[in-house]
Structure 1
């Protein structure tokens, strides 16, 4: 953390067990990783975290700007404070190592590293919930993902040509075959065992992780 270029900080009176102290000369600066993630996701300056986060930039008509921006700010503020509360709620009474939100983030991290399915995570959450009734966790990955995606930990799936020619994006989003090599966008029944009623599956998918929402 830079402090010699005009940045301001508040000297903390206590150090939270879940925080990481950072010694700079004779001053203790306390880092709150989960709160920092929330602030980053909503574009809130760390030094002004108590203020309502600004709405994202939207391409909207000028006549609708005031109403739309106000509604957007209210919605973002609501989500911001809901996440902030989750970041403060202990995983169980007396727990100082994990909050509800930090536990979900760690679990999501394990899911990504080990390639676990959403069904597997739901079964793990159900088992923990059954074994530890006092644990403050959701009962399914679907519920957990509602909080996780608000942090910006999500991605966009973009179908791609299996030969690497194009992405089916923008003006090419509705194409069924590659405009360069004429390869089909979709897997066939020989590639995957599906019936005609099920959703088509792209042959290749690019996962795009936005740097910012």
Structure 2
């Protein structure tokens, strides 16, 4: 009725993509910050709460565990976070995400630690 609002820049729900600069590791700044500050985030939420549920040790381990033997680019945690980030930014359904995980699991080397279903990935995080 009044035309496009003058403050409109990018609305990701219409398929527009935010230009996010990449770092030397090939990740965007938000993802790198999440990976680099995992311990701080856990500390803020409460290490005791994470330890009671054994989540602290699990998250630390997953942040150090390579996605597959010999992989230097991704850990179990970073790969899962990146995939969830794609899922959210692109509005993928749980079914589509599960199909992608199943395909990636087959494409990666045999001993990869990628979750195979959306449900497993959610529980992990």
TM-score by length of 1: 0.39
Q: What is the number of equivalent residue pairs in this alignment?
A: 95
Distance 1:129 1:104, change over 3 A: same
Distance 1:32 1:116, change over 3 A: closer
For the residues of structure 1 that align with 2:43 and 2:124, how far apart are their CA atoms?
13
Question: CA-to-partner distance for each residue in 1:163-209, whole Å, 9 max, x for gaps?
Answer: xxxxxxxxxxxxxxxxxxxxxxxxxxxxxxxxxxxxxxxxxxxxxxx
CA RMSD of aligned residues (A): 2.6
For the residues of structure 1 that align with 2:51 and 2:107, how far apart are their CA atoms?
38
Find the residue that maps to 2:69 and give its secondary structure: coil
Distance 1:85 1:141, change over 3 A: same
Tell me which structure has the larger Cα radius of gyration.
1
Q: Relative contact order (alpha carbons < 8 A, sep ≥ 6): 1 or 2 greater?
A: 2
1:37 positional shift: 2.9
- Of 92, 97, 100, the match for 1:121: 97
The answer to whether the Cα contact below 8 Å between 2:51 and 2:57 also exists between their aligned partners in 1 is no
Distance 1:88 1:32, change over 3 A: farther
- Of 87, 112, 121, the match for 2:88: 112
Distance 1:91 1:74, change over 3 A: closer
Higher helix share: 2
1:34 positional shift: 1.6
Gaps of 5+ in 1: 1-16, 19-30, 45-51, 56-72, 149-213
Aligned to 2:47: 53
Runs of 4+ aligned residues of structure 1 deviating over 4 Å after TM superposition are: none
Find the residue that maps to 1:137 and give its secondary structure: coil
Gaps of 5+ in 2: 1-23, 26-31
Distance 1:135 1:74, change over 3 A: closer
1:108 positional shift: 0.5
Find the residue that maps to 1:43 and give its secondary structure: helix
Alignment of 1:39-188 (within 5 A): 39-43=40-44, 53-55=47-49, 74-76=51-53, 78-132=54-108, 133-148=110-125
Higher strand share: 1
